[in-house]
Amino acid sequence: MIRLQQIVKRFGEATILKGVDLTLAEGTVTALIGPSGGGKSTLLRCVNLLEIPTSGTVEIGDSRIAFSPDRKPSRADVLRLRRRTGMVFQNFQLFPHQTAVENVEEGLRTVLGWPKDKARARAMDLLDKVGLSGKADAWPATLSGGQQQRVAIARALAPSPSVLLCDEPTSALDPELAEEVVEVLAGLAREGTTMLMATHDLRLARRMAGEVVFLEAGQIVEQGPPERLFGQPEQARTARFIATLTGATPEP
């Protein structure tokens, strides 16, 4: 279970998240949609504590941290919770001086202290899962964008996280390469991987998500199953946003 309660995030005078409540059941996929600047990426980064919430509570499994403006969480608590998550970034962020397999095994060796042989075996298993075992010794610069993102997914899965966080995983790719990534993510979803993803790709959200959350101006406007949210949204603002992505004319 992943539970976010009253998450507030401020940067100086700007309040980016305004008391967000969200619960993800184990084995489910939740898609965050909404306009740019609405808080989707910030919310993901608050889940794995790349950004520390100003206030609120983040709970992943049996790890829980309450945040407040006057109390900084300990580094040990932050690392304990962060290790329950895996993060897939929009622009891959692979180490250019390491091969595909070295990118996947790096965190296992340097963060978790795994021996090289064990880390290499785990990395190879994951590259096989994402269909890239034949590219294990390839440098990132020689891989297509879709292949690089699949390596990034393998890297995020390496420590067996409780939740996989995906920040616009297909937006930097052309449609054909994006389909490679969608296939990998869909396979993980079928296997029961818990995922929270921010995306503008309605096809991805429709295909994978059991729950879609429309986030705007740091607040949840509406949430529900994709067939309802995309087909018959209850809020006019949701309908207008979806219309901008589909080219449809929203009903008055």
What pLDDT does residue 247 have?
61
What percentage of the chain exceeds 90 in pLDDT? 76
Q: Decide: 238 and 222 in contact? Cβ < 8 Å.
A: yes
* CATH number, domain 1-84+163-252: 3.40.50.300
Domain ranges of the chain: 1-84+163-252, 93-160
Q: How many CA atoms lie within 13 A of 2 on its CB side?
A: 25
The tens digit of pLDDT for each residue in 216-239 reads: 999 999 999 999 999 899 999 999
Structural tokens at position 163 = 């939740």
Buried-state track 6-31, b at ≥16 Cβ within 10 A, e below 16: ebbbeeeeeebbeebebebeeebbbb
Structural tokens at position 201 = 């790709």
What pLDDT does residue 251 have?
52
Q: How far apart are CA 6 and CA 17, in angstroms?
A: 9
Q: Decide: 163 and 2 in contact? Cβ < 8 Å.
A: yes
DSSP letters for 80-117: HHHTTEEEE-TT----TTS-HHHHHHHHHHHTS---HH
Residues of the chain short of pLDDT 50, as ranges, are 249-250, 252
The tens digit of pLDDT for each residue in 79-101 reads: 999 989 999 988 888 999 999 99
Nearest to 206 by CA among 240, 187, 231, 184: 231
